[in-house]
Structure 1
Amino acid sequence: MSHSWSRQVAIAGIGESDLGLVPDKDPMQLHAQAAKRALEDCGLKNTDVDGVLTTGTANRLILMHSVLFAEHVGIRPRFTTSMQIGGATIIQMVISAANAIHCGMADVVLIASADSIRSFVGYGELMSIIGEGITELYSKIGHSQFECPYGPTLISTYALAATRHMHEYGTTHEQLAQVAVSIRKHASMHPDAQKREPLTVEDVLSSKMISWPLTKDMCSIISDGGAALVVTSAERARDLKKKPVLLLGAGARTMQEHVTLVDDLVGTAAADAGRQAYEMAGLGPKDMHFAQFYDCFSITPILFLEDFDFCEKGDGGRFVEGGKRIEIGGEIPIVTHGGCHAHCHPGLPSGIFHITEAVKQLRGEVGGARQVKNARVGLVTGLGGHFSCHTALILGTD
């Protein structure tokens, strides 16, 4: 496999829409707001863009979503499509943008992703779906003749992984809770985070049980919002407004959609995605200054610490215990913006904030106590479905 675009493609601009509860903007308006801010960030105009990638929304089925978005913001791209592989989507879009730029199909690619699952789907409606209506919903959007009629949900799938990890390696409920506590600590320092109140292990354990052993505070929040990225060649990015953040390496692996076909609940295909990314970048886990793990549930950072080789398999629970090793100033700070747990989780677009946070950290723009000191290289991961799709991206300044 040719790795020739490593260090030859860069993220030149980032922009985030209004976040949290945004009832005055629909998803397309959030897409456009984030895109405008990303272009302003790097000093380009919509007429400079010839590639557009989007994710669509959960609120409304829109065929040819990227085409409608491009029309909405006045872009006529050479290269465009919409993608959907859950929380792994955004990194896969960055990989696709890099491939398009490298082979000459586009010069400047705009990636935009936003949704309004808190306002337009309706928080109350979503909570009712999580209750009695969840099996019916999954039957409609999944494979109704196999797993869906029997009750497994996305949350219970991750609970199965957590339970298995506890059984095989002695991981404790308190260690799972610590992940949420440390991520919330980072969110408490982020002015745009939806949940900023500090938590204790006791707080997390006493929050509502959703699917044992996962309590409410170990799960993603519900949000409105989105973000956009401007991707171009490293050469062009060096002439723009902001310090370019280079794509050093990337990897991906998709396994299965059905949870009954998962080979190993505690050993994920993230290990393969990580191996590809490390190899492409010519780096390893010891070179990373932070890791923006996709944190849909508190078990995933524990699994990813293991699968991306920050610790041995089975040691993830002990690694996070007490929080010091995974917090800013520690061995490998994780999810430094608050992630899906506390910053913003509008569904499918959530992973884009892990990338915008990584870019801010590498530019040195975060500032204050949340800034990772001398950050030059960082890992971002994505995860979609029932441990189905795994993506990894290594970003750096040189």
Structure 2
Amino acid sequence: MNRWLKIGIPVLVVLVAIFLLNRQFGMTAIVAPATGGKAVNAVTGTVEVRANADIRVKAQHPGVIVENRVQPGQVVEIDAVISVQASEDLDLQIEQAQIRLEAARAREALESTNKIDLESIEEEIEGVALAVQLKQAPVSQLENLKRNKRKTEVFWKAEEIQERESRRLLENQLAQLSLKKNQMITQAPFAGTIAEINAFKGDLVNGGQNLVRLISHGRIVILKLTEEDYFGVQEGQPVTLRLASYPDRTFAGTVQRLEDVSDSNSKTRNVFVTVDAPDSILVPGLTGEGYLVKDERDNAVLIPRRALIGNLVYVVDNGSVDVRRVQPGYMGLNQAEVLEGIEEGDLIILENQNLFKPGDRVEAVESGKR
């Protein structure tokens, strides 16, 4: 045991001495000079591409599909026919309703028997009234005739109402059947592209069953920002997008509008971006990253953003480490503006700041020159 102590203690002393000498004279700090330029106040967020409208076109009524007129990937205009369902049963019902409607109209055109009876009663009343004046007939006979007249008038009016009601109900039934037949032909509610076909010729579909998936022309590009980054975002600000499907390409856009509500679950808020790119590139479902510039400022002192530790910056000054408390300004994607505490040309330590303490002697090596 004493032997190991005799050997180990001197070795440990040597190692500690080497460590202290390295800290005092041999540490290397990777640095970059603070530069002057344009400060950018920018934030990043996730991007999602959506279609203006993406719906499942559904069958409105049950029936067998007898014709499909679209294919996946086909571009269709508004009201273009998508599919046709069998309508033989409806045709028979429509024919029956037409026959009944023609008969109802013919009955309505006939002269009412109640009207004829009313004319006869009126003539009889005139004769009895004269007889009453001549005291050749009792007054009660005249009163009975007048009551019969009122009853006949009521029957006549009721008959007219009933015939009119019958005709209008049949007209309504015929209109409903015709509408249903028209709805057996499914049409595109807007112009777009057929993304999927869910029912084919010969399929028996139910009302409400999906027939096709239709994606509209035009795209909505959504940039999701955290609630902290959202402050200061305004319409018209520039946005640069990078989509996962196009890693070597960027897309320019501008803020079109801001969503009125925030997502309390994800703590994010949506920004809608207009992007100058065709629909064939902006495929619904694409994701990526967006870089939104809120503001810019010229003649700023800039340092690499990774060198900013909270509001502290590690600097090499005459071969020694100096830790400075600074006032950050605009934050860009890779650079940060410093309003106070750093001057242009100062050597900023870029990495491993936790290894340094104020006063350490270091060798400053500019990034990229090792």
Q: Which has the higher strand share?
A: 2
Say which structure, 1 or 2, has more relative contact order (CA 8 Å, 6+ apart).
2
Q: Which has the higher helix share?
A: 1
Higher Cα Rg, which structure: 2
